Structures are given as structure tokens and as C-alpha cells.
């Protein structure tokens, strides 16, 4: 079984979560940073996990675009979706709904919110100013490693069930 984790990261947190997820999955896992210029060979994977982080209320544009342009092939694969962000009061369901296309969310075996981390050392001046303004983002680093582990187990368990039963039919 081959898995791809395709992610975008602005300050490194999502990459850290993708690495942890890679360690937690028992499959043969590749990681790729989403970039507009990159061509992907998605056909070779059984499972594709897509992740990104929230900045000013939005997931990276490249992540949404990747989902849109690869939608047809993603719908033939086992899919997982995740986001990183810092708002402690975030509505996880609304967050996922806003970050990914509806059809992909319905198709996904698992979707998750892994918390976030403010990597101040990597920020430019504008990002520092914006972070200071958003007082709600001022809190201790909080990647939820337990959630990443649970997400990995869910992908693996549901993935093996769907392989035994054939393609999942979403009603």
C-alpha cells in the first residue's frame, strides 16, 4: 500500500504534523510539498492525504487549487484531509468545510484538525504584526499529537475495510 501526504506549510508546523503522520502510518509513505509548478503522479498511490494551515481565515490557496485540479483522481483514492491552525475556539467542522471542496469532504475517510504552532522565528515582519493583532492566536504551541495518531489509525482501519468491501459508495 502506498500513501502520499501532500501538504502546504507557511511556517513549518504543517510539515511537522505531516512528518508525524508519516511516522504513525504503517504504509510506504511519500511526502510532497504542494507547489503550483509541480506535476504529481497521483495514480501510483492508494491513499492520498492533503493538509494545509489557516492564515487570515483561509487555507493556502495552493492546497484548495490542488484539490480542485486533482479532484477526479482524488475521488478514486482513499483520502484524508487535515488542517493546522491556532484558534482555540475553532469549529472543527466549519474549518474543514471551508478549507476543502464539498465533494472531497464527503468522500474522505477521515478529516482532522491537528492544532497549530506559531513559529515566530520564521515569520516576516508583516506576519509578526498580524499575529500580534490577533490576540486570540497568542497561546502556547499546541500540536495535538494524539489526534494525529488517531487520524492515522482511522485511515488505516477504514482503508482496509474499504479495500475488503470494494469502493465506498457515499449516499
Ligand X SMILES: Cc1cc2nc3c(=O)[nH]c(=O)nc-3n(C[C@H](O)[C@H](O)[C@H](O)COP(=O)(O)O)c2cc1C
Residue numbers of the site for ligand X (CB under 6 A)?
9-14, 53-57, 84-87, 90, 116-119, 123, 127, 130-131, 137
- DSSP one-letter code for 4: E
C-alpha separations of 153 from 61, 84, 110, 115, 135 in Å: 28, 19, 10, 18, 34
Distance CA(11)–CA(16), nearest Å, equals 10
Closer residue to ligand X in complex, CB, 1/137 = 137
Closer to ligand X by CB, 42 or 143: give it: 143
Residue with Cβ nearer ligand X (24 or 46): 24
Min separation Cβ 8 and ligand X, Å: 7
Q: Give the residue at shortest CB distance from ligand X.
A: 116
According to DSSP, residue 44 is labeled: G
Who's near 74: CB < 8 A, 6+ residues apart?
A: 42, 48, 50, 67, 104, 107
> In the bound complex, what is the minimum distance in angstroms from residue 15's beta carbon to ligand X?
6
The secondary structure of residue 135, as a DSSP letter, is G
Identify the residue whose cell numbers are 511526502: 31
Give 130 or 158: the residue with its C-beta nearer to ligand X.
130
- Nearest distance, CB of residue 96 and ligand X, angstroms: 13
Give the nearest distance from C-beta 102 to ligand X in angstroms: 21
Considering the complex, what minimum distance in angstroms separates the CB of residue 42 from ligand X?
22
Contact 63, 52 (CB under 8 A): yes
Q: Based on CB atoms, which residue is closest to ligand X, 22 or 55?
A: 55
Amino acid at each position: 500500500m502506498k500513501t502520499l501526504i501532500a501538504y502546504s506549510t507557511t511556517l513549518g508546523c504543517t510539515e511537522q504534523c505531516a512528518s508525524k503522520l508519516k511516522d504513525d502510518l504503517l504504509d510506504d509513505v511519500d511526502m510532497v510539498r504542494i507547489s503550483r509548478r509541480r506535476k504529481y503522479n497521483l495514480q501510483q498511490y492508494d491513499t492520498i492525504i492533503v493538509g494545509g494551515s489557516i492564515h487570515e481565515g483561509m487555507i493556502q490557496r495552493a492546497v484548495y487549487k490542488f484539490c480542485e485540479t486533482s479532484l477526479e483522481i482524488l475521488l478514486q483514492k482513499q483520502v484524508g484531509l487535515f488542517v493546522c491552525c491556532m484558534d482555540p475556539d475553532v469549529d472543527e467542522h466549519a474549518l474543514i468545510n471551508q478549507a476543502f471542496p464539498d465533494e472531497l469532504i464527503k468522500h474522505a475517510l477521515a478529516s482532522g484538525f491537528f492544532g497549530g504552532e506559531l513559529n515566530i522565528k520564521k515569520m516576516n515582519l508583516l506576519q509578526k504584526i498580524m499575529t500580534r493583532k490577533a490576540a486570540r492566536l497568542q497561546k502556547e504551541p499546541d500540536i495535538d499529537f494524539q489526534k494525529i495518531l488517531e487520524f492515522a489509525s482511522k485511515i488505516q482501519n477504514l482503508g482496509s475495510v474499504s479495500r475488503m468491501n470494494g469502493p465506498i459508495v457515499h449516499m
